[in-house]
Structure 1
Amino acid sequence: MKAILFDLNGTMIDDMRYHTEAWYRILVDEHGADLSMEEVKKEMYGKNQEVLERVFGENHFTAEEMEALSIGKEKQYQEAFRPHLKLIEGLDRFLEKAHKQGIKMAVASAAIPFNIDFVLDGLDIRKYISAVVSADDVKRSKPDPETFVMAAEKLGVQPEDCIVFEDNPKGVESALNGGMKVVVIKTAHEEHEFEGLSNILRFIDDYNDPYLEDLLRN
Structure 2
Amino acid sequence: MELPSLVIFDMDGLMFDTEKLAYEAWQMTSHYYGFPFERALFEQFIGITNQDIIRKMAEYYPDQPVQEWRAYMRFQKYELEHSFIKGPRFKKEGLDELLQFLRSKGIKIAVASSSSVEVINRFLTISHTLPFIDLYVSGEEVARGKPSPDIFLEVCTRAKVNPKAAIVLEDSPAGIEAAYKAGVQAFFVPDFVKESEVIDRFSPKTFETLAAVEKYFRLTSCSSKTN
Query: 1:90 matched to which residue of 2?
Result: 94
TM-superposition CA deviations, 1:6-49 (whole Å, max 9, x none)? 000111122211111112323x2234432223432333341123
- Using the alignment, how far apart are the partners of 2:83 and 2:22 within structure 1? 9
Gaps of 5+ in 2: none
Query: 2:194 matched to which residue of 1?
Result: 190
- Using the alignment, how far apart are the partners of 1:41 and 1:84 within structure 2? 25
* Shift >6 Å, 4+ stretches: none
Tell me whether 1:134 sits opposite 2:143 in the alignment: no
- Using the alignment, how far apart are the partners of 1:112 and 1:152 within structure 2? 19
Tell me whether 1:17 sits opposite 2:20 in the alignment: yes
1:211 partner amino acid: Y
How much has 1:70 moved relative to structure 2? 6.7
SS at match of 1:208: helix
SS at match of 1:24: helix
Could you say if the C-alpha distance between residues 62 and 192 of structure 1 is closer, same or farther in structure 2, counting changes exceeding 3 Å? closer
Could you say if the C-alpha distance between residues 76 and 56 of structure 1 is closer, same or farther in structure 2, counting changes exceeding 3 Å? farther
**What are the residue-to-residue correspondences of 1:1-218 with 2, within 5 Å?**
1-26=4-29, 28-57=30-59, 68-69=71-72, 71-79=74-82, 81-82=84-85, 83-191=87-195, 194-198=199-203, 200=204, 202-209=205-212, 210-216=215-221
Gaps of 5+ in 1: none
How much has 1:168 moved relative to structure 2? 0.7
Between the aligned residues of both structures, percent identity stands at 24
- Using the alignment, how far apart are the partners of 2:220 and 2:90 within structure 1? 23
How much has 1:178 moved relative to structure 2? 0.2
Q: Identify the range of structure 1 (207-216 vs 173-182) with the bigger mean alpha-carbon deviation.
A: 207-216
- Aligned residues of 1:133 and 1:151 also touching (Cα < 8 A): yes
1:48 partner amino acid: N
SS at match of 1:196: helix
- Using the alignment, how far apart are the partners of 1:103 and 1:44 within structure 2? 27
How much has 1:214 moved relative to structure 2? 2.8
Between the two proteins, the alignment pairs up a number of residues equal to: 214
Larger radius of gyration: 2
- Aligned residues of 2:25 and 2:73 also touching (Cα < 8 A): no
- Using the alignment, how far apart are the partners of 1:36 and 1:71 within structure 2? 17
Could you say if the C-alpha distance between residues 62 and 33 of structure 1 is closer, same or farther in structure 2, counting changes exceeding 3 Å? closer
SS at match of 1:179: coil
Q: TM-score, normalising length from structure 1? A: 0.86
Cα root mean square deviation, aligned: 2.5
